[in-house]
Amino acid sequence: MGSMGEGARFLMGKLAHLIKKNKSGLVAILLAAGIAGFSTAACAGPRVDGDLLMGDISSHTVKKRESLFDIARKYDMGIIELQAANPGVNPWQPKPGTTVTVTKRHLLPGITRDGIVINLAASRLFYFKGPSEVMTFPIAHGKDGWETPVAATTIVEKRLHPTWTPPPNIRAENPDLPDFIPPGPNNPLGDYALALGLNGIMIHGTNAPSSIGKRASHGCIRMYPEDIQSLFNAVKKGTPVLITKTPYVLGWKGNKLYLQMTPKVHAVSKSKTPKKPKPDKFLHAAVEREAGSEATIDWDLVDEVMARADGIPTEIARRPFFGPPAPGNNLDHPQRASLTIINENNLSLR
C-alpha cells in the first residue's frame, strides 16, 4: 500500500473495529479538522491558511432548452446537490430566465491530506495533491442493493481505454449483455478507470453523465468524463483512498463554525419550505463539543440547516477570537484534526 497520513491509519483501525462491532449498519464519520493552507483546482475558491471552508456560492440564469443536468455539468456539480439548492425547480425543463443557486462551497474532510477521500453521503470526491492543494469532483456511487463499501484502500491499477467485462451478478440482471464491451462511446467505464483494492470496485468515467450526483452504479464510483481525465492524470498507483459516509460536517473558517448537511436523494423536495425542524440530540452534542465554551451557537439555525439539508455550509456559531483552543474543549486548531464517529442511526460510538 502507498503511504498514509496518521489520520488515515487511525481511521483504518477505527473502521475495522466499528464495522466488526456494527455489522448491520454503515459507519458514518463526522469530520471536523483544520487544514493549514490550500488552493483549489476543480473547485474554485480563495487560498485561506488554516480554514476548512473552500469555494463560493454564485448564481446562473437558465437559458432556453437548458436543463439542471446541463447546468450541473457546466459547474461541475452533481444533480442532487444542485436540486437541493434549488427546490421547486423542474430539473428537466426549468423555466428560461430562472435564477438558480450554484454552490461550489464545501467543508473539506480533515482525516488526511494524503490521497483521495470520498464522501458517499455528499456524492463527492476530494483529492489532496499535497498539504496545500486539493481537487474536488462530484460522483455517482452504488444504488440500493449495490452499495459502495466504506473502506480504506489504494489505487492498484490505472487503465486507459478500458474494456468492460460484465461480471456474473450484473449479467444476471441483464442476460443480453455481450461478453465484453470494447473501448468507445458505449463503454460504461468511459475512457479512464482506476481500479481499487476492493473486489471489482473502480473509480471510472461514464457514458451516462446525467447519473452524476446520484446513487446509480453497481458499487463503482462514476465521474464526469472530463473529471476522471483530470483525476487519472493527477494520481498514481498506490495512492491511498478513503471511502466514508458523512451525513453532516462541521468546520471552522476563522472564528466562524459552519455546518454542512448533505442532501439525500429522497429528501429533494418540490417544496421550497423545509419541514418543521426536529432537534437532533446527537447533532446538538457534536456541535456543542466542536464549538466549545467560547462560541455563541444559534440552535434554531442548527435545526433549520438539518431540516433544509441543502448541502450548503452555513455559519451556525461564532467565537470572539480565532486562536488555539482553550484547554479542555474540542475546538479545532489549524494544525490539528478532530473527528467524531457515529453510525447511521446516530448512536454515538465515541
- Summarised one tens digit per residue, pLDDT across range 160-177 is 999 998 888 888 888 888
- At residue 36 the predicted structure's pLDDT band, cuts being 50, 70 and 90, is very low
**Element holding 51 (H helix, E strand):** none
Terminal Cα-to-Cα distance of the chain (whole angstroms): 28
User: Which of 181, 214, 244 is at the close of a domain?
Assistant: 244
Q: Tens of pLDDT along 114-129?
A: 899 999 999 999 999 8
% of the chain beyond a pLDDT of 90: 57
- 236 with 294, same domain: the answer is no
User: Mean pLDDT throughout 69-97?
Assistant: 96
Decide if 279 is inside a domain: yes
Contact yes or no for 329/292 (Cβ under 8 A): yes
Q: How many CB atoms lie within 10 A of CB 197?
A: 15
Mark whether 204 is an active-site residue: yes
Q: What is the pLDDT of residues 199-233, one digit of tens each?
A: 999 999 999 999 999 999 999 999 999 999 999 99
72 occurs within a structural domain:
no
| Tens-digit pLDDT profile for residues 295-314 | 999 999 999 999 999 999 99
Band of pLDDT at residue 273, cut at 50, 70 and 90: low
Same domain membership, residue 287 and residue 206: no
Retrieve residue 75's grid coordinates.
459547474
- The CATH number for 185's domain is 2.40.440.10
269 within a domain of the structure (yes/no)? yes
Across 75-123, the runs of DSSP E, i.e. the strands, are 99-103, 106-107, 115-119
Q: Out of 43, 106, 141, 204, pick the active-site residue.
A: 204
Question: Once rounded to an integer, what is the mean pLDDT over residues 97-125?
Answer: 90
Does 43 qualify as catalytic in the annotation? no
Residues 6 or more apart from 56 whose CB is under 8 A from it? 44, 45, 104, 105
* 17, 220, 284, 333: the active-site residue: 220
Question: Are residue 14 and residue 112 in the same domain, yes or no?
Answer: yes
Residue 306: what are its φ and ψ, rounded to 5°?
-65, -45
**Which is higher by pLDDT, 248 or 162?**
162
In a domain, 67, yes or no: no
Q: Do residues 155 and 293 share a domain?
A: no
Structural domains counted in the chain: 2
**Does residue 139 form part of some domain?**
yes
Residues 240 and 324 in one domain: no
Same domain flag for 127 and 201 = yes
Contact between residue 56 and residue 104 where contact means Cβ atoms under 8 Å apart: yes
Mean pLDDT of the 149-161 span: 97
* Residue 142, domain extent: 6-46+106-244
Phi–psi pair at 150, nearest 5 degrees: -75, 125
- DSSP tag of 12: H
This prediction has a pTM of 0.77
Residues 288 and 221 placed together within one structural domain of the fold: no
Q: Which of 209, 244, 279 is the last residue of a domain?
A: 244
Question: Which of the listed residues 216, 244, 272 is the one where a domain comes to its end?
Answer: 244
In angstroms, the CA 124 to CA 54 distance is 14
